[in-house]
Structures are given as C-alpha cells and as structure tokens.
Amino acid sequence: MVIIASLGDMVDKYKAARENRLLEQKIIAKMLAEENQLKLDIIKYLKDGNISACGGKLAIAKLVVTNEPTCENMNALYLHILATGEFELLYRRINPASIKERWDRGVSVPGITFYPVESLSISKIN
C-alpha cells in the first residue's frame, strides 16, 4: 500500500493515475482502430479476389464465414417464446435506462428493486 500524507494527496494521486490511464486508453484506441482497419482491408481483398487465404512472413489470414442469428421480427419471436416457454432464447438482463425512466415518472416495474452504487466525482482545480 502506498503511504500518502493526506486525503488531499490521495485525491491528487488518484487524479494523476486516472489521467495516465486515459492517455494510455487513447493510444490503445488508436492502435485498435488501425488493427480493425487492416482487418477490414484484408477481408475486402480476400473477398474481392475470391481468395480463401493469404500468407505473409509471420502469419496466414483465412476468410472464415459463419452464420449468426439476428431477429427481424421481435413480435414473432415473443409470441414463439410465450407459446413454447423457451425463455433461454433471450438474455436475462434489464434495461436500466428504461426502468429509471419509468421510476422517474412514478411507475414501478414488478420484480425490480434499486440498490445504492457508490462512485467518485473528481474535478480539476483551476
């Protein structure tokens, strides 16, 4: 554990650590964007050239196509789930923003409770 002279020093150290992390995140985001663009370019060249794989000196890239499900008609899906009881077709999570919106209007949603979440607000002095 780091020994800090005062709570004020701890706040300043926290702010500096946060700023360093945010700076690193910007660098990583830039690297990730470059990586993703290269990936898209490789996929485009493979598809345009009707090529299934291509290699360099360090790696081989293969175009892999899989079929992923998407819902085009939520009403039909909901009716199916209600008729069959296959609730595992859906994720079991709530939309916090929608529930908070209703709560702010005085509408409660059955089965929902609220719990406190602690956070820290840091503002620059100057």
Q: Is 20 inside any structural domain?
A: yes
Non-local CB neighbours of 4 within 8 Å, separated by 6+ positions: 10, 13
Q: Is 2 inside any structural domain?
A: no
pLDDT in tens, 75-120: 999 999 999 999 999 998 999 999 999 999 999 999 999 999 998 8
Structural domain for 72, as ranges = 7-104
Q: Is 122 inside any structural domain?
A: no
pLDDT in tens, 39-74: 999 999 999 999 999 999 999 999 999 999 999 999
pTM metric for this prediction: 0.68
Contact 86, 80 (CB under 8 A): yes
99 Cα distance to chain centroid: 20
Q: Is 112 inside any structural domain?
A: no
Contact 59, 53 (CB under 8 A): no
- Number of structural domains, the chain? 1
* 100's tokens: 């908070």
Q: Is 12 inside any structural domain?
A: yes
